[in-house]
Every structure is written in structure tokens, then in C-alpha cells.
Amino acid sequence: MEQNSQVKIFEAQIRESFGRVVWTHKTHEKCADILNRRSSNIKLIQIALSAITTTGILISVFGDKQWVGIITALISTSLLALNTYLKKYDLGEIAQKHADCATSLWNIRETYLSLLTDIKASNIDISEIKLKRDKLQKELYGLYKGAPRTISKAYKEASEALKTNEELTFGDEEIDNFLPKELRKNTTTQQRL
């Protein structure tokens, strides 16, 4: 088989892997965000239920309203159930695992991007492409093996972020705005800034 067609085959496989890593990275980022929001909301609910329970106890002790004691007992039971659930599922810890996974995936994603750049620039031979590809697959396997499971809402948010909001894409002008004048591609951006 011709060298050029072999490179195209490897490039196609690596592009596919790159795309999957981009999606997985963004999904883990979104999952961490969702779980952090849930954890924060639950903590606010815990504080509110604790305040209501404390108020109800004070009214029951210093007042003569029996119905307040009954409502306070029900709220206290709800708080106990919520705290028991949270003891089993630490959403903050799970969110941190997703964030750590996303960080590791970011590095792999950028390594894939560099490999694709090397392939396009013809700076790499087939044996080196295979070696780097196999190393990346091994790294991904180890990472995926220990990664927490994502939730469907995170996938939906990742899909919107990547397809609609184009979170990982930049136009030349946007990139030029990040660079010093000497490295800019567009001369009108250079003159304006």
C-alpha cells in the first residue's frame, strides 16, 4: 500500500478518536458543572430546612401551638432523609472527579490535535504515528476505566455547547485578539489594536 494512502487511513482514525475525546471532555466538564449546581442547591435547601426546624422547635417550646410541632417533626424528618442521602452520595466529590477527568481529557485532546498537525505538516512518519496513536489509546483506556459515569443532561449540554455555542472554535480575528501583534494573522486586527 502506498505511504500516502496509509497516512490518510491513520489520519482518519486519529480524527475520529480526537472527535470522541472532544465530546467526552466537554461532557465531563458539563457533568461537573451540573453536579456542583445540584450540590449548591441542596446545601441551600438544607440550610432552609434547618432554619425552619429550629424556628418550629422554638415556637413549640415557647408557644402552645401543637400543629407547629407536627410540621416541625415532618420537616426535620425530611432533613434527616436528605442528609442520609448526601452521606451516601457526595455530589461535590463526584463533581470533582468529573472535573479531574475533564482536565486529563483536555491534555489528551491537545495531544491528538498536535498529532494531527504533525500528520498534516508531514513532520512524522508512519511508525511514529502508530506509536503515538497506541500511546494515546492506552492513556485513554486508563482514564476511561476510572472515570465516573456521565449523565444524559451533561451530554445534552455538551452537545449544545459544541454545536450551537461553538465553545471550542475560534475565528482568526478572535485568535488574533489573544496574540501579540507580531503573531497575528490579520493585519487589520493588528492595526486596530
Render pLDDT for 143-152 as a digit per residue (tens, 0 to 9).
999 999 999 9
97 in a structural domain? yes
Q: Residue 134 domain-assigned?
A: yes
Instruction: Determine the Cα–Cα distance for residues 32 and 25; give it in Å rounded to an integer.
Output: 11
> Average pLDDT of 49-65?
83
In a domain, 16, yes or no: yes
In a domain, 132, yes or no: yes
If pLDDT is split at 50, 70 and 90, which confidence band does 104 have? very high
189 occurs within a structural domain: no
* pLDDT, mean of residues 35-53: 91
Predicted local confidence at residue 189, as pLDDT: 46
Residue 165 lies in a domain: no
Average pLDDT over residues 101-111: 96
Please report the pLDDT score of residue 105 as a whole number.
97
Q: Within a domain: residue 172?
A: no
Question: Higher confidence at residue 13 or residue 190?
Answer: 13
Mean pLDDT of all residues in 121-136: 94
Query: What letter would DSSP give residue 122?
Result: T
Residue 17: phi, psi to the nearest 5?
A: -65, -40
What the block records as the C-alpha cell of 45 is: 435547601
Per-chain mean pLDDT for the chain: 88
Query: Does residue 175 belong to any structural domain of this protein?
Result: no
Other residues' Cβ atoms within 10 Å of the Cβ of residue 105: 24
Q: What percent of the chain has pLDDT over 90?
A: 51
110 vs 193, residue with greater confidence: 110
Give the separation between CA 2 and CA 84, rounded to whole angstroms.
64
pLDDT at position 190: 46
Nearest to 116 by CA among 17, 190, 1, 29: 17
Range with the largest mean pLDDT of 2-16, 29-43, 62-76: 29-43
pTM for the model: 0.78
Domain that holds residue 141: 3-150
Domain count, the chain: 1
pLDDT computed for residue 40 by the predictor: 93
With cut-offs at 50, 70 and 90, classify the pLDDT of residue 172: confident
